[in-house]
């Protein structure tokens, strides 16, 4: 890819999986032109979730968040593309779905912050950290998409 695009970590939370929205969320990132380089379907262990949300450990909702995130399968993914971290956040919508615009994933599919169906890295640095936490280097693929010349100038 031209001038090394960024990667971001996107995870579909248990509510997104239970509601059958996995395909729709993947579809939106694919249609945008982003490149899927890793994906798992898994039951996340609590220690992984505690580490993932370590920045929130002093918040009152932290134990409930970890418990909720381990309540069912999740779909962690790595997407690649120019501006993927910031654009991915825009595509997801605001953390609180009530503040999310129609057309965003949260604006279209959810109502309450505790059931906001997906997680997306909030910076290039946190994306690197989250990708390394959820995926081993050998689980990340590197390939060229035949559609690349139709997405990038």
- Which parts are annotated binding residues? 13, 61, 89, 95, 106, 116
Order of strands, sheet of 118-120, starting from the edge strand that comes earlier in the sequence:
35-39, 75-81, 6-12, 118-120
- Which parts are annotated binding residues for ATP? 13, 61, 89, 95, 106, 116
CB neighbours (10 Å) of residue 42? 11
Is 119 a residue of the active site?
yes
Catalytic residue among 6, 35, 52, 119: 119
Would you name the residues annotated as active-site residues? 119
């Amino acid at each position: 890819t031209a001038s090394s695009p960024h990667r971001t970590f996107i995870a579909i939370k248990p509510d997104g999986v239970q509601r059958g929205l996995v395909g729709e969320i993947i579809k939106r990132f694919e249609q945008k032109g982003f490149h899927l380089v890793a994906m798992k379907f898994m039951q996340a262990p609590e220690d992984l979730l505690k580490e993932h949300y370590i920045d929130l450990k002093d918040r009152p909702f932290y134990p409930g968040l970890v418990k909720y995130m381990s309540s069912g399968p999740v779909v962690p993914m790595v997407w690649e593309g120019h501006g993927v971290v910031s654009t991915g956040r825009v595509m997801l919508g605001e953390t609180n779905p009530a503040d999310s615009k129609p057309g965003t994933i949260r604006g279209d599919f959810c109502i309450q912050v505790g059931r906001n169906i997906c997680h997306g890295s909030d910076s290039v640095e946190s994306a690197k950290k989250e990708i390394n936490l959820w995926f081993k280097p050998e689980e990340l693929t590197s390939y060229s998409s035949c559609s690349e010349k139709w997405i990038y100038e």
